[in-house]
Each structure stands twice: as structure tokens, then as C-alpha cells.
Amino acid sequence: MAAVIDLNGVSIGYGDSAPPVLVDVTLSVERGSFVAIVGPSGVGKSTLLRVVAGLHKARTGGVTIHQDQRPAHRPVGLVFQDARLLPWRKVVKNVQLGLEGLPISAADRLRRAEDALKLVRLDGYARRWPYELSGGQRQRVGIARAMAVDPDILLMDEPFGALDAITRNNLQDELRRIHRETGKTILFVTHDLEEAVHLADRIIVLGGTPARVVRDVKNDAGRDGAVFRDQVEKLRLEIADNYSI
Amino acid sequence: MNTRTSLSLSALGVVAFLLGWEAVARSGVVPAGLLPSPSAVPTAFLAEVQRGIWQKMVVASLSHYAVGLALGTFLGVAFGTAAALWRVWDAFQSWVVRMLRPIPAIAWIPFAIIWFGVSEGAASFLIALTVFWINYYASYSAVRGVDKDLIELGHAFGQGGLIPRLFKIILPGALPGILSGLRAGLGQGWMTVVAAELFGISGLGMRMMEASGLLATNIVVLYMVTIALLYGVSDFLFMQVQARVLSWQR
């Protein structure tokens, strides 16, 4: 399988002089895979995602996104922990945000936004204001907005962290369905091990001070049962071993 | 409290105020020349309208007001936004702003007359000056207060360039604050209209000055009421527009 992104010796720090929080991250993500990045808070998971999205500069190292040549798309689609909708735009206009400035007609923009809303099962909500939606619905709009740009890779920054347990479970199932249906490559940051084991087919564990990749495992533990619990427990110990304050 | 109750309470308040005023004026506690009764106002109104003075003064003041308000608002929002967006520009102009800000518009009257003569332009200039500062500060803090996360969102979705960032994220996000500056300017603008016209530029303020020179206090009150009504109407209309523009807010 071909890689969609390659990270090569990436290290991350804040400010100019503070010591780096995350060092020497070298990994490549295969097309169509679902990769979870886990680790304790403060380890630089979210920042790593921002580096991939081009929102934060790595201190050293490089990120390569292997875009394919299809027209009118953006390399990454980002989903935030807070849904981060523009409150002055109706739902369908929020979904179109990333399409503005791409060389497509207004009609195509609208069509793609409506398709994306259909994908997250929110067709019928296009004309609502964000404040009229529940937290889970808002997060679905956030996913639709990222999917609408037809990204090479979908980046998700603890997207379900702020939701209640039932909504979170629903959206996890929805996300697996979306992954299955669209075959998108997904890079998913979470501090919730069960969520990672539940969703991803590969799990990357960050830990230590400064943090680095301490484990990179294939995950086929299934969604529940003894194998699932074993996998979660194994990762939990892994993180505890590398957790030093 | 529903809208009807609150509206009738407001009406009741106005009626009580007028009745109290009328009672004091009629009781003879204060000499009639010093405090005209509100019931003397309609007579004055009819007389002024018949001579065509009232209409002329209202139109004159409205035109000073409109020009000054438009100019002051536009420049205030533009400079306030620019200062909030660019650190370098902000630092460059911050002490100039500190020096100019405390000077009230009426202190500029001598210069207004020297530069523009006793003319419409002078009145509009003074109004624009008042309105400018209000909008400058309102826009400055509104733009500064725009959620940084939304700006990051713009960058993530290809809207990080100056134009899309400004028009899709920053200005819409700052709009509630900018509009409250506009509204404050609406009121301050009327106050400056009167002050600017007191020195002889045709309008409500000039007419009040003339009438007070003749001790025609009922005419003075008529124009005070006129200003109050004009402000009331413009503020009411503004609120209607604002409710529409901000309908996305809960």
C-alpha cells in the first residue's frame, strides 16, 4: 500500500527556547488506514496533528503529504474537539467553508456540501443555525465540513472527547461506517485507549519526556470481548511505563 | 415579562413623566417663563410647522447627522479594525490616539469654523469626530475579541488569506461588538448635532439658540422633544436592523 503521509524526524516545541515536547517522530500512514495516536495529555498529540495540517511549524523534520491529482480538493480535512462551527453561517454554509476558493461552481459547492451532510446523516438540517443543533449534531457537521473538501487525509483531534457517552458511542459507530464507505485515510488523536482500540487498525503510543513514539501496533482486537480488553490493558501498561513526571 | 406588558409599562412611564411635569408647571411653584408646560408644546409645534421652520430645521439637522454619522462610522470601524489587526500599525498610532482621544468634539469647534466656515461641512465634521472615536474603540476591542480558534479554523480550511480571513471570519465575528459601537454613536451623534449647530449652522440647535434668546421656552422644549423623537426613531430602526443582521444569535 502507498503512503499518504510521511513524517520524517519531526520534533515539536512551543516558543523558541523551551525544550521540545515531542521528538523524532518518523512514521508513514498508509492510504485507507485508520490510525489512532494515543498518549497522556501534554504529550503533543494535538500539536502533531496541527503540524500535519500545516497550522503549526515543526521545529525539525518534515511532513510530506502525497496528494493525488484529482481536482478541487484539499490535502487535509480537520475535525476539532469543539465542533467549531461559524455561528453566523447556516449548517450548509458551514460545510461549504473549505470549498470556497476551490475552482468549482457554486452549484457544485452546494451539491458537495449536501452530499457530505447526507454522509453524516444530517440531510434535512442544511438550513438550520448551529445554535439549533445538539452537541453531537454539531460534531457531525464538523465531520461533514472536513469530508466535503474530499481530503487525502482526515485529521481528527479528540473529536468525541466533549460528548456524553451515548452520543460518543453513536458517533464512533458512524465514523467506522464512514471509514468503511469512503475508504478515507484517518489520523485520529485521542487520550481514550478504549476509543482507540475500538476504532483504529493501527495505534501509535506517545510517551516519555520529551515524548517520542514508544509503541506502534497493529490493532485487530475487535470491538469488545476479552481480546479487546487485553489490548486496552496492554496499552495502558505501556503508557504507564513511559509516563514520567 | 412579555413584550406587551413591557411596552405598556414604558408608555405608562412616559405618561407619568409628562403628567408630573405638567403638574409642576401649573402649580406655580416655578415661574412659567422658566419651565413651560408640556401642553404648550403642541401650539408651538403648529406655529413652527405653519411657518415651515420646523421641517427646514429637521431636514438640515438630519443631513448633518447622516453625513457625519456615515463618515465617522466608516472611518472609525476601518481604523479600529486596522489597529486591532496589525501590531506594528497599532504601536505606531497608539500614542497619537491617546493624545487626540480626550479632546471633546466641541473643543474642535474653532478649527471646524476656520477650516469649513459656518457651514454644513463644519457640523458634519464635528459629528463625524464624535462618532469616530466611539466606533474606533468598539471595533478595536470587537476585532481583538474574535475567537482565535475560529481564525485557526479559517487557516485549516483555506481561508487564511487576508481577504477571506477578514470578511469570512473576523468581521462577522466582531459584528455584534461593532454594531453596539454603531448604536452608541447613533446617540452621541445627536448630542453633537445640537452642540455643533448652537454656533449658527442652520438646524435644530440653531433654532433652539434663537428661541432661548427670545425666552420662547416652549419652542426650546419643542425642539428638545423633536431631538428626543428623532433619536428614538433612529435607535428603534437600528434595533430592527440589528435584530435581523444578528438573527444567528440565540
Task: Verify that A178 and A239 share a domain, yes or no.
Answer: yes
What mean pLDDT comes out for the span A159-168? 92
- Long-range (24+ apart) CB contacts under 8 A made by B37-42 are B38/B221, B40/B218, B40/B221, B41/B218, B41/B221, B41/B222, B41/B225
**Over the stretch B218-236, which tens digit does the pLDDT of each residue have?**
899 899 999 999 999 999 9
Q: Note whether B175 contacts A: Cβ–Cβ < 8 A.
A: yes
Q: Which of residues 102-161 of B touch A (CB under 8 A)?
A: 149-150, 152-159
Q: Is A74 part of a structural domain of the chain?
A: no
| The total number of structural domains that make up chain A | 2
Task: Verify that A19 and A6 share a domain, yes or no.
Answer: yes
Task: Verify that A111 and A98 share a domain, yes or no.
Answer: yes
Q: What is the residue whose three cell numbers read 458537495?
A: A112
DSSP state of B199: T
What mean pLDDT comes out for the span B145-156? 96
**Over the stretch B192-217, which tens digit does the pLDDT of each residue have?**
998 888 888 889 999 999 998 888 88
Q: Is A76 part of a structural domain of the chain?
A: no
Task: Verify that A233 and A245 share a domain, yes or no.
Answer: yes
Give the per-residue pLDDT at A237: 80
Assign A223 a pLDDT band (cuts: 50, 70, 90).
low
Task: Verify that A59 and A164 share a domain, yes or no.
Answer: yes
The nearest alpha carbon in chain B to A130 belongs to: B248
Chain A interface disruption, residue of B147, B153, B175, B248, most A CBs within 10 A: B153
Distance of CA B213 to the CA centre of its chain: 27
**Over the stretch A48-104, which tens digit does the pLDDT of each residue have?**
999 999 999 999 999 999 988 888 999 999 999 999 999 999 999 999 999 999 999
Task: Verify that A107 and A170 share a domain, yes or no.
Answer: no
Give the per-residue pLDDT at A53: 94
What mean pLDDT comes out for the span B20-29? 87
Residue that finishes a domain, picked among A132, A151, A170: A151
Task: Verify that A50 and A85 share a domain, yes or no.
Answer: no
**Distance between A11 CA and the closest CA of chain B, angstroms:** 21
Does B152 or A208 have the greater pLDDT score? B152
Q: Give the amino acid at A40.
A: P
**Domain range holding A226?**
1-68+153-245
What mean pLDDT comes out for the span A209-213? 88
Note whether B250 contacts A101, CB cutoff 8 Å: no
Task: Verify that A136 and A200 share a domain, yes or no.
Answer: no
What mean pLDDT comes out for the span B33-47? 85
Domains and CATH numbers, chain B: 68-245 (1.10.3720.10)
Task: Verify that A50 and A163 share a domain, yes or no.
Answer: yes
Q: Is A21 part of a structural domain of the chain?
A: yes
* Least confident span in A97-106, A216-225, B121-130: A216-225
Which residues on chain A are in Cβ contact (under 8 Å) with B249? 87, 131
Question: Is this complex's ipTM strictly greater than 0.95?
Answer: no
* Least confident span in A145-159, B4-18, B23-37: B23-37
What mean pLDDT comes out for the span A16-28? 89
Q: Note whether A131 contacts B: Cβ–Cβ < 8 A.
A: yes
Chain A interface disruption, residue of B148, B157, B167, most A CBs within 10 A: B157
Note whether A98 contacts B158, CB cutoff 8 Å: yes
For residue A213, the SS3 value is: strand
pLDDT of A245 > 50? The answer is no
**Over the stretch B156-167, which tens digit does the pLDDT of each residue have?**
999 999 999 999
Partner residue opposite A98 with nearest CB, options B157, B172, B248: B157
Specify the CATH number for the domain of residue A192.
3.40.50.300
Give the per-residue pLDDT at A232: 80
Task: Verify that A157 and A244 share a domain, yes or no.
Answer: yes
Q: Is A75 part of a structural domain of the chain?
A: no
Q: Give the residue from A144, A25, A128 showing the smallest Cα distance to A78.
A: A144
Residue that finishes a domain, picked among A101, A121, A151: A151
Task: Verify that A159 and A41 share a domain, yes or no.
Answer: yes
Task: Verify that A160 and A244 share a domain, yes or no.
Answer: yes
Residue that finishes a domain, picked among A151, A166, A198: A151
**Over the stretch B92-111, which tens digit does the pLDDT of each residue have?**
999 999 999 899 888 898 89
pLDDT of A44 > 80? The answer is yes
Note whether A98 contacts B169, CB cutoff 8 Å: no
Q: Would you tell me how many other CB atoms lie within 10 Å of the CB of residue B101?
A: 11
Q: Is A212 part of a structural domain of the chain?
A: yes
Q: Is A229 part of a structural domain of the chain?
A: yes
For the purposes of burial, counting CB atoms within 10 Å of the CB of A89, is it exposed (0-12), middle (13-18) or buried (19 or more)?
Answer: middle
Q: Is A195 part of a structural domain of the chain?
A: yes
